[in-house]
Structure 1
Amino acid sequence: MRLVIANCQVDYAGRLTAHLPMATRLILVKNDGSVLIHSDGGSYKPLNWMSPPCRVVEGTNDDGVVEWTVTGKDDDTLRILLEVVHHDTVHDLGVDPGLQKDGVEKHLQELLAEHPATLAEGLTLVRREYPTAIGPVDLMCRDARGASVAVEIKRRGEIDGVEQLTRYLELLNRDPKLRPVRGIFAAQEIKPQARVLATDRGITCAVVDYDALRGMDDPSARLF
């Protein structure tokens, strides 16, 4: 990961346009190919970003100011002018083991792995924690037609979860043995904004009744 703290101006051009005037910010260039611009506030969300895969070209403009041009897969661009660079380092973070989920979310994944048809009729499990280069997909399944379905499971479904599943789908659909891969975003509660974003991206939303699933997992019916 590359960390750059600089006085910078950022202009985005794509489906819309956005402008960040000159100010001191943190720029993250991650090994997965994403570029994120943060301020010292606003919680965890970047002010602007480019999702992977993207290409970064560094140069200088006619005024001698360092300029980055970040191009995304849809030819969206981030133009970053770095007036003063205060810090520029590269760090190897190694392989991340992934998020260790809380008990409810982990149990929810186990229950849905046992009963995938509660998400969609005819859905069958291929594998839990299906590995990808950017982390494991909660459930990899097949639908009644044999097509691949990636399932992301959250206790509370928010926009970040949809973005996470979107990244998985972009990567999985590059594999000719899997594609086309569609997505199901499953949660006990899904925020309206997350539902709108998921629908816009062709992702199916599924609200899960945790207590009903627990009722299907009756320990008294087990031999062991």
Structure 2
Amino acid sequence: MRLVIARCSVDYAGRLTAHLPMAPRLVLVKADNSVSIHADDRAYKPLNWMSPPCSLKEDETEDGGRVWTVVNKTGEKLIITMEEVLHDSSHELGVDPGLIKDGVEAHLQELLADRMETLGEGWTLIRREFPTAIGPVDILGRDADGATVAVEIKRRGEIDGVEQLTRYLELLNRDPHLAPVQGLFAAQEIKPQARTLATDRGIRCVTLDYDALRGIEDDKLRLF
């Protein structure tokens, strides 16, 4: 991971345009080549970002500044103009062991994997915790038509969860033995912004009632 703190402006050009005026910011470049720009607020949410796969080109201006041009596979650009670099360091973090889910998420995964038919008639399980280069997919299965489906399970469904599933789908769809892979985002509660983003990306959303799933009397799981 590369950490750069700099006085910079940021311009995004793609389906829309956006501009961040000159100010001190943190720029993160991760091993998957994703780039994100952060201010000293907004908690974990970046001001702007570019998801992989993308390329980064660094140029130097006549006055000694730096210009980064980040381009993704669709030609969208993130242009970061650095007036002054205050810090620039790189760190090897190694392979992350992955998120250890809480009891609710782990149990939901176990229940759904055991009864894939609750997601749709004729659905079957390929594998729980299906491994990818950026972490395991909660459930990988097939629908009644034989299409591969990646299921991401959360207790609370937010934009980060949709982004995580999107990254999994980008990797899985590179495997000719699995592609095309569809996405399903399942959570006890799904925020409106997350649902909107998922729908825009062709990801189906399912809201889960954990108490109902645990307390079934007719030996059938129900999704609400």
Matched ranges for 1:198-213 at <5 A: 198-213=198-213
Give the TM-score, by structure 2 length.
0.93
Identify the residue that residue 96 of structure 1 maps to in structure 2: 96
State the Cα deviation string for residues 174-215 of structure 1 (Å, max 9, x = none): 111110000111111111221111111111111112122213
Find the aligned partners of 1:216 and 1:134 in 2 and give their Cα distance: 35
Q: Secondary structure at the match of 1:21?
A: strand
Equivalenced residue count is: 219
Matched ranges for 1:79-158 at <5 A: 79-158=79-158
Provide structure 2 residue ranges, at least 5 long, that are not aligned to the other structure.
Answer: 220-224
Task: Tell me the CA shift for residue 64 of structure 1.
Answer: 4.2
Give the TM-score, by structure 1 length.
0.93
Find the aligned partners of 2:77 and 2:206 in 1 and give their Cα distance: 34
Percent identity, please.
Answer: 72
Find the aligned partners of 1:199 and 1:69 in 2 and give their Cα distance: 29
Identify the residue that residue 192 of structure 2 maps to in structure 1: 192
Find the aligned partners of 2:184 and 2:130 in 1 and give their Cα distance: 14
Once structures 1 and 2 are overlaid, which stretch shifts more, 193-202 or 126-135? 193-202
Matched, 1:170 2:170: yes
Amino acid at match of 1:170: E
Task: Tell me the CA shift for residue 171 of structure 1.
Answer: 1.0
Identify the residue that residue 17 of structure 1 maps to in structure 2: 17
Amino acid at match of 1:129: E
Find the aligned partners of 2:218 and 2:110 in 1 and give their Cα distance: 13
Find the aligned partners of 1:10 and 1:194 in 2 and give their Cα distance: 25
In the alignment, is the contact (CA less than 8 A) between 2:127 and 2:140 conserved in 1? yes
Find the aligned partners of 1:216 and 1:111 in 2 and give their Cα distance: 11
State the Cα deviation string for residues 146-180 of structure 1 (Å, max 9, x = none): 11100000011111111111111111111111100
Amino acid at match of 2:67: E
Cα gap change, 1:217/1:186 in structure 2, threshold over 3 Å: closer, same or farther? farther
In the alignment, is the contact (CA less than 8 A) between 2:120 and 2:144 conserved in 1? no
Task: Tell me the CA shift for residue 73 of structure 1.
Answer: 1.5
Find the aligned partners of 1:192 and 1:3 in 2 and give their Cα distance: 32
Cα gap change, 1:217/1:123 in structure 2, threshold over 3 Å: closer, same or farther? farther
Task: Tell me the CA shift for residue 72 of structure 1.
Answer: 0.9
Find the aligned partners of 2:110 and 2:189 in 1 and give their Cα distance: 18
Find the aligned partners of 1:119 and 1:188 in 2 and give their Cα distance: 14
In the alignment, is the contact (CA less than 8 A) between 1:27 and 1:38 conserved in 2? yes
Find the aligned partners of 1:87 and 1:64 in 2 and give their Cα distance: 15
What value does the CA root-mean-square deviation take over the aligned residues? 1.6
Once structures 1 and 2 are overlaid, which stretch shifts more, 99-108 or 205-214? 205-214
Task: Tell me the CA shift for residue 61 of structure 1.
Answer: 3.3
Once structures 1 and 2 are overlaid, which stretch shifts more, 63-72 or 87-96? 63-72
Provide structure 1 residue ranges, at least 5 long, that are not aligned to the other structure.
Answer: 220-224
In the alignment, is the contact (CA less than 8 A) between 1:159 and 1:194 conserved in 2? yes
Identify the residue that residue 50 of structure 2 maps to in structure 1: 50
